[in-house]
Structure 1
Amino acid sequence: MQRKRQARAHPSTSLEQRQSKASMLPKFDLTDPKASLSLLEDVTTNVKQIQDSILEAVLSRNAHTEYLKGFLNGQVDKQSFKKNVPVVTYEDIKPYIGRIANGEAADLICDRPISLFVMSSGTSGGIQNLIPLTTEEGEQRIFFGSLYRSLLYKYVEGIREGKALTFYFVNPESETRSGILVRTMITCILKSVNKTNSSLWDRLQISPHVISTCEDTTQSMYCQLLCGLLQRDNVARLGAPFASVFLRVIKFLEDHWQELCSNIRTGRLSDWITDAQCVSGIGKFLTAPNPDLASLIEQECSKPSWEAIVTRIWPKAKCVEAVVTGSMAQYIPLLEFYGGGLPLISSWYGSSECFIGVNVNPLCKPSDVSYTIIPSMGYFEFLEVKKDQKEAGRDPIENHVVVDLVDVKIGHDYEPVVTTFSGLYRYRVGDVLRVTGFYNNSPHFRFVGRQKVVLSLHMANTYEEDLLKAVANAKLLLEPHDLMLMEFTSRVDSSSFVGHYVLYWELGSKVKDAKLEPNRDVMEECCFTVEKYLDPLYRKERKKDKNIGPLEIKVVKPGAFDELMNFFLSRGSSVSQYKTPRSVTSEEAVKILEANVVSEFLSQETPSWGIHHELHHSR
């Protein structure tokens, strides 16, 4: 199934000829796992040929666009591309995006129409960007999904004996001034389901498509749960796009199980479910009273602890599927608590800009997850990220260490730089990935975090990776007290002469309805532990002349982070893609958190700045 390398086309080649040279994922039967696995072997073996072919096809098709013509002047060879086309961020291409959104032709950046703009979540990078997407590349992302699904079928025994209870939520779509649709990525995928592929959805998913595409998130979540409960013996796997989303569903179940059981017992849907899609979708399942099922679910949900609640309610489930890498890694203990030992599978890695890699070893430990790059999804380069540059606050682009996919080195950290058929050229994704090995000839990468400073005070810059590691070590102190860290974020408080870091923690108990009164000594030790595991420059500034004050943890009421989420959702974020920001700068967001503070704790010791990174707890 290997696509042969195409001869380079002249920019004046006809559109039809240029389109035939696209070297993307060949189309295959989405219902045939063997075909998918065969393709996976092929594309991960012929990496260099595919990557050269991808770049060749992109340049031959798009060299005439205003953007590339300004750099290449008609040249379409790889050397000219690397020498003349700059590595960019969103701010560099934003003027072109704006012009297309306002009505200018897509050939500013791309040889074919932009079918829609994908709106990024805005919660990991801080702002919502509009990413161009063609119909062709949108279809490629559907095929990408079948690659990782075939791996689940291969490695997870019994997973095909039932269906998936995967919780998806759509956002209302909008249009640009020129009429181009704007959707989140999850909404794009869900709304791509049509008459021709709806049978595949019905074959794979517990919830009807009409329920998953209901724009009322609360009604949709309720009815998706109700579908899952009514068909509990047919649920072979559960999941959501991100770990945080799945945990939000569990919390929703905790708040609504009595009402759900009442619906099951009476065979009658709650009156407040009025959305036509939800009503019609649930109608085929909620057909008659089922008091036995209601009693069984009530028995499990009313127990003092919700440990292993997933396996108790869905006894035939084989795994929980959700992204658990990067900032999602902090939710692993909660997923393990609720999941009752079910494997946690982090299937794929991608972004609004490009779908990038799959986990070819889905049953590995969450801490060992690596993603294998699928070289047919775009042209991939990597900007080397060095720790000493990060600590000095320098952008690694200054050294121009950009390498091809086949030239990355095991153990090194890189930021992905993608070139796509939809009009992104040498675009910095903003993530940090660490090379852990190879699958055939395609490298594995472990997601380290965002290439982003989340906290900065005096001369100290704290990256997301370092903050996550520090919090992961500190929350271990809660376990002997049956407490769990449910959610957290942070900010810099510069209101006093000596500024300091503030962490907001929402705690939960392993025992139902237990009082959340953390011990002061324990929490102060948590404060110190966070500081102890931050980078040396922070610790040095903490000690030297008191440039940075003691770190503070503020415990907030249960539900505070739901309020924070609702705030960001009101500004356009998507429930399916929402990720709690690891630092907040918005005054409104800070006010929400401060209004929910119930107790405050300060670090009582000053960490030694000579402690080395070897002390960091590996995730």
Structure 2
Amino acid sequence: MHHTASGDEGYASINEFREKVPLTTYEDYRAYIDRMVFDGERNLLSSEDIVYFSTSSGTTGKMKLLPLVAETMKKIGESTRIGTAITRRSFPPSSLPVPEQRTFNLLSGKKTEMFQRSKDGIPIGPLSQSFSAFSSIPRNRSLFSTNNTVTLDMIEEIPDFETSVFVQLVFALATSNICSYSTALPPVFIHTVKMIENYFDEMSLCISYANFAHSSLVQNNISDSEFIASLNRTLNEATVKYGGEVYRLERAKHIRNECLKKDAAGILHRLWPNLIYASAAIGSTFSMYKKEVQFYCGERLPLINMGVYISSEGPLGVLASIHTDEYFLLPTCVFFEFIKEEDVEQVRCPS
């Protein structure tokens, strides 16, 4: 018999642990979570305050609500920074980004007042938008804006997804010197490239004149003229250091020329010759997309897995190496169950 840190008796064996702590499913917790969401009850599943209810993607059935505490949100930021460090240290020092280089990380966010909330006001939404919901961890929020081609504050003003992606891509294309191109999921990665291919003429015009009046998406989905004017000013300011109008016209011409090369591999490297790497979640169940994503990268641009593996529940691991699909588990962030491969099909398989 072992003793826990508190002095209580623990478990004599793994089998005893399995017996006393049986496998559970979301349904075992649904009633508690419903009481937290709809009745505002606290201290049901955690003694810490819940700061966010993350919505699952619903890939295994009905969408689930997953309560997260502040410590989990901090771990997400920490694991992201670790993953970024591992990625960059895997490249030769001579190829590391310089301070003036920008990154393209596709952002997702919305205004705080747009979030659905529990009875006691806790925001509910996808994990990708959690840092828009509250500002209690400013370092996490800045993590997704520092050196990026656009800021999270800007994206939160654009509720329509397609329009948001369009605007982010225009700012990225207007910046010739970016070092990385990243989206969390490969279908979204592919979608961003197809948007460039489909809208390159409008994007080029927006860049040429530093004016989003040339975007059908912006004109149809953003009614705030002052915000559009601020987008125009920001786009102009972003290109001044490269040469202003002369640069914008040359850059737009380059974009058109490359996008007119239909079905040619490596469009990302051709649009941004200084790219060091591109990244998306390309391992495991997403490996089916790897070939198509690699086509857009071409032979000269390394394609690597995301630096941190994050699910709806939180961060699961950080990338072991850019040369593998393996991750180091983060056992203090979420709860793991390990199941023998031969037992996967069992209804109540031992872990």
| TM-superposed deviation, 1:244 | 0.9
Aligned partners of 2:86, 2:209: CA distance in 1, in Å? Answer: 40
Look up the match of 2:68.
133
| Aligned residue among 250, 254, 257 for 1:296 | 254
Select the residue among 353, 372, 376 that pairs with 2:328: 372
CA 1:87 to 1:372, structure 2 compared with 1: closer, same or farther past 3 Å? same
8 Å Cα contact 2:106-2:182 kept in structure 1: yes
* Deviation of 1:149 (Å): 0.8
**Equivalent residue in structure 2 for 1:148, among 77, 83, 86:** 83
Is 1:394 aligned to 2:336, yes or no?
A: no
The CA distance in 2 between the partners of 1:314 and 1:193, in whole Å, is 33
3-state SS in 1 of match to 2:22: coil
Q: Paired residue for 1:248? A: 191
Name the TM-score, length of structure 1 as normaliser: 0.48
- Letter of the aligned partner of 2:200 in structure 1? W
The answer on whether the counterparts of 2:210 and 2:233 sit within 8 Å (CA) in structure 1 is: no
Match of 1:231 among 175, 186, 195: 175
1:377 Cα deviation (Å)? 2.1
Query: Partner of 1:107: helix, strand, or coil?
Result: coil
* Higher share in helix: 2
Partner of 1:525: none
Distance 1:246 1:266 in 2: 27
In the alignment, the residues of structure 2 paired with residue 304 and residue 169 of structure 1 have an alpha-carbon distance, to the nearest angstrom, of 29
| Structure 1 residue 325: Cα displacement | 1.6
| Deviation for aligned residue 1:282 | 5.3
Query: How far did residue 324 of structure 1 move?
Result: 0.6
Q: Which residue of 1 aligns with 2:282?
A: 324
> Following the alignment from structure 1 to structure 2, what is the Cα–Cα distance between the partners of residues 76 and 226?
61
Q: CA deviation at 1:251?
A: 1.1
**1:534-613 alignment, distance < 5 Å:** none
User: 1:155 offset after TM fit, Å?
Assistant: 0.8
Does structure 1 residue 203 correspond to structure 2 residue 146?
yes
Which of 99, 117, 124 is the equivalent residue of 1:175? Answer: 117
Match of residue 568 from structure 1: none
Counterpart of 2:317?
A: 357
Deviations 1:463-502 (A, max 9, x none): xxxxxxxxxxxxxxxxxxxxxxxxxxxxxxxxxxxxxxxx
Distance 1:282 1:105 in 2: 46
2:62 paired with 1:120: no
* Whole-angstrom CA distance in 1 between matches of 2:199 and 2:130: 29
- Identity over the aligned pairs, expressed in percent? 21
Aligned partner (choices 77, 101, 105) of residue 10 of structure 2: 77
* Partners of 2:153 and 2:310 in 1: CA distance: 26
Deviations 1:321-362 (A, max 9, x none): 110123321111111111112211112323112311111211
Question: Superposed, which structure 2 residues align to 1:449-528 within 5 Å?
Answer: none
8 Å CA contact retained: 1:258, 1:298: yes
Q: Give the aligned residue type for 1:170.
A: G
Indicate the residue corresponding to 1:258 in structure 2. 201
Residue 16 (structure 1) aligns with = none
Partner of 2:303: 344
Match in the other structure for 1:599? none
- What is the aligned partner in structure 2 of residue 382 from structure 1? 338
Change (3 A) 1:375 1:279: farther
Letter in 2 for 1:345: I
Query: How many angstroms does 1:146 deviate by?
Result: 0.9
Residue number in structure 2 paired with 1:608: none
Query: Does 1 or 2 have the higher relative contact order (CA < 8 Å, sep 6+)?
Result: 2
> Once the 2 structures are TM-superposed, how far is the Cα of residue 225 of structure 1 from its aligned partner?
0.5
1:101–1:78 distance in 2 versus 1, CA, 3 Å: farther
AA in 1 matched with 2:346: R
8 Å Cα contact 1:350-1:357 kept in structure 2: yes
Distance 1:274 1:257, change over 3 A: farther
Aligned positions, number = 320
Q: Are the structure 2 counterparts of residues 93 and 354 from structure 1 closer, same or farther at C-alpha, using a change threshold of 3 Å? A: same
**Taking structure 1 as reference, are residues 206 and 159 closer, same or farther at Cα in structure 2, changes over 3 Å only?**
farther
The verdict on how the C-alpha distance between 1:114 and 1:191 changes in structure 2, with shifts beyond 3 A counting, is closer
After TM superposition, the structure 1 = structure 2 runs for residues 103-118 of structure 1, keeping only pairs within 5 Å, are 103-118=39-54
The alpha-carbon deviation at position 194 of structure 1 amounts to 7.2
CA offset at residue 116 of structure 1? Answer: 1.7
1:81/1:281 CA distance change after superposition, 3 Å: farther
1:432-480 deviations in Å (ceiling 9; x for gaps): xxxxxxxxxxxxxxxxxxxxxxxxxxxxxxxxxxxxxxxxxxxxxxxxx
Residues 78 and 165 of structure 1, relative CA distance in 2, 3 Å threshold: farther
Alpha-carbon distance, 1:284 to partner: 2.0
Moved more, 326-335 or 171-180: 171-180
Q: 1:166 aligned to 2:166?
A: no
Residue 221 (structure 2) pairs with residue 285 (structure 1): no
CA root-mean-square deviation? 2.7
The CA deviation string for residues 569-607 of structure 1, in whole angstroms up to 9 with x for no partner, is xxxxxxxxxxxxxxxxxxxxxxxxxxxxxxxxxxxxxxx
Residue 160 of structure 1 deviates from its aligned partner by 2.5
Structure 2 unmatched ranges of 5 or more? 238-243
Q: Residues 316, 190 of structure 1: CA spacing in aligned structure 2 closer, same or farther, 3 A cutoff?
A: farther
Separation (CA, whole Å) in 2 of partners of 1:269 and 1:256? 13
Inter-partner Cα distance in structure 1 for 2:133 and 2:230: 18
Deviations 1:541-567 (Å, cap 9, x if unpaired)?
Answer: xxxxxxxxxxxxxxxxxxxxxxxxxxx
CA contact (8 A) 1:230 1:286 kept: no
Q: Compute the displacement of 1:279 (Å).
A: 5.2
